[in-house]
Amino acid sequence: MNATTLDALMSPVAGCLDEPSLKALVQLRASPEAVARVEWLAERANEGELTAEQRAEYESCVLFANFLGVLQSKARRKINGAV
């Protein structure tokens, strides 16, 4: 799935959220423990040392981060009246 398709699929999600929900979404951040885990996985990935299970976990984290980033961008635009 390319970014344009993902963007189009997420437009209705941001569209159904009220302003407090949009603001909460924009402010959403991973816990320090989750950030540390992803950084550890990224380091091992760069070194070619991930197990198959760790690679699947890391890839899921990257996909989720991309999804959340696009959704947060849409939320920011809606808050600012650009949508």
8-22 confidence digits (pLDDT tens): 887 788 788 999 999
**29-71 tens-digit pLDDT:** 999 999 999 999 999 999 999 999 999 999 999 999 988 998 8
How far from the centroid of its chain's Cα atoms is residue 83's Cα? Answer: 20
Q: Give Cβ neighbours of residue 32 (< 8 Å, ≥ 6 apart).
A: none
The structure's pTM equals 0.81
47 to 32, 42, 51: CA distances (angstroms)? 23, 9, 12
